[in-house]
Amino acid sequence: RKEVEQDPGPFNVPEGATVAFNCTYSNSASQSFFWYRQDCRKEPKLLMSVYSSGNEDGRFTAQLNRASQYISLLIRDSKLSDSATYLCVVTFLTGANNLFFGTGTRLTVIP
């Protein structure tokens, strides 16, 4: 079983739509959670951290559900420029290798 799992998509949505992705993690001791964005043939870039109380940055909202062990990313009013792959990252405090990446969810926003 993978440590972090994401639906690979693709999610094809029209401009202006609201879209949500989930990411499940297997280790209940996970401590930190992030969403990264990766454009085609580019490097991943940090989009936002995910806090226990949830957090919002403009059109983007990230939430954490510890009981069900998943995090979510909600994008409102989708723009063409939101088209990218969104990577979920989970970290553990223990263990030398303490970052786990999901394989990513691909989003395409259609005009």
**Contacts with another protein, residue ranges (CB under 8 A):** 8, 31-32, 34, 36, 41-46, 49, 87, 89, 91, 93, 96-99, 101-104
Q: How far is the CB of 111 from another protein (least distance, A)?
A: 26
Closer residue to another protein (CB): 41 or 111: 41
Rounded distance between C-alpha atoms, residue 104 and residue 110, angstroms: 19
Closer residue to another protein (CB): 68 or 94: 94
Q: Is the dihedral of CA 19, 53, 28, 45 positive or negative?
A: positive
Closer residue to another protein (CB): 78 or 102: 102
Q: What is the DSSP string of 34-54?
A: EEEEE-TTS-EEEEEEE-TT-
Q: How far is the CB of 38 from another protein (least distance, A)?
A: 9
55-57 and 11-14 beta bridge pairing: unpaired
